[in-house]
Structure 1
Amino acid sequence: MTTLLRGEVPAILQAAEHAQYQGAYRPAGIPLAEVRRGPYDGTRIAVRPDANGELPTVLTMANGRIVYERDRPQPDGTAVYRYSPRLSPAHEGLMRAVAEVYAEHALQRGQS
């Protein structure tokens, strides 16, 4: 007899909290808010529990380069996944790109 999977659970992707960003790469002069922010924050998705009814502990996107970790659910039962810079292989490259943008803006302000 085949085990039927339960229905999907609503989920939302959110910015990292201390547990996820602690020790993550942060270039000099870049605000912590930039480190915490993930590329898919605010996105609402559906997550399918496994056969035991458990939600996945991590979600990977962009061919495994972006990782979100499961956090406590919201009161309405929506699962919350938080961006994990520590586990995301793309994080350092993203932070370098952010640092370049900050440097360009600093140059433009200096020339005005």
Structure 2
Amino acid sequence: MATLLLPGEVIVILQPAGLTQYKGAYCPPGVPFSEVRRGPMDGHADWTVVPDKDGAFPKVMSFAGGRFAYEYDGRDKQGRAVYRYAPRLSPAHEGIMNGVAEVYAERALNQAKEQGR
């Protein structure tokens, strides 16, 4: 299905964090740091953005009432504006990571129980 764009609009694609975005982000003990890269809206291409008069794109886009932030990271081969998950700028990130830590802890506990049989 073709997307109809208004003049000047560019499709936005949301991607996992790159090193710039996740360096120094919160990661609880027991969780692989690779989990920090994953944003809750990665892969979505449902939004558009209009560059300003100088051709610059907004540096940050936020979603879910400001709970999740994505930083502008250039354009891809299809000409879409690439925004990467920015955990350090996302107020909900720490809570999400604590939930991920619970899942990892539960998995480790279950594996220990299985090995103890």
What band does the TM-score fall into relative to the shorter chain?
0.7 to 0.9
Residues of 2 paired with 1:58 and 1:51: CA distance? 14
Residues of 2 paired with 1:108 and 1:87: CA distance? 34
Q: Which runs of 5+ in 1 are unaligned?
A: none
RMSD, aligned α-carbons: 1.5
Counterpart in the other structure of 2:103: 101
Task: Give CA deviations for 1:65-105 in whole Å, capped at 9, x if unaligned.
Answer: 10000001012211100000010011111100000000011
Question: CA offset at residue 51 of structure 1?
Answer: 5.2
Q: Which residue type is aligned with residue 33 of structure 2?
A: L
Residues of 2 paired with 1:65 and 1:89: CA distance? 5
Counterpart in the other structure of 2:40: 39
Q: 2:56 aligns with which of 54, 59, 64?
A: 54
Say how many residue pairs are matched: 108
Q: Are the counterparts in 1 of residues 12 and 49 from structure 2 also a CA contact under 8 Å?
A: no
Q: Are the counterparts in 2 of residues 6 and 48 from structure 1 also a CA contact under 8 Å?
A: no
User: Taking structure 1 as the reference length, what is the TM-score of the superposition?
Assistant: 0.88
Q: Are the counterparts in 1 of residues 8 and 51 from structure 2 also a CA contact under 8 Å?
A: no
Counterpart in the other structure of 1:83: 85
Q: Which residue type is aligned with residue 76 of structure 2?
A: Q
Percent identity, aligned pairs only, is 54
Q: Are the counterparts in 1 of residues 13 and 43 from structure 2 also a CA contact under 8 Å?
A: yes
Task: Give CA deviations for 1:41-76 in whole Å, capped at 9, x if unaligned.
Answer: 111123231552532211101110100000010122
Q: Secondary structure of the equivalent of 1:20?
A: helix
Counterpart in the other structure of 2:94: 92
Q: Are the counterparts in 2 of residues 6 and 51 from structure 1 also a CA contact under 8 Å?
A: no
Question: CA offset at residue 7 of structure 1?
Answer: 3.8
User: Taking structure 2 as the reference length, what is the TM-score of the superposition?
Assistant: 0.84
Q: Which runs of 5+ in 2 are unaligned?
A: 1-5
Counterpart in the other structure of 2:30: 29
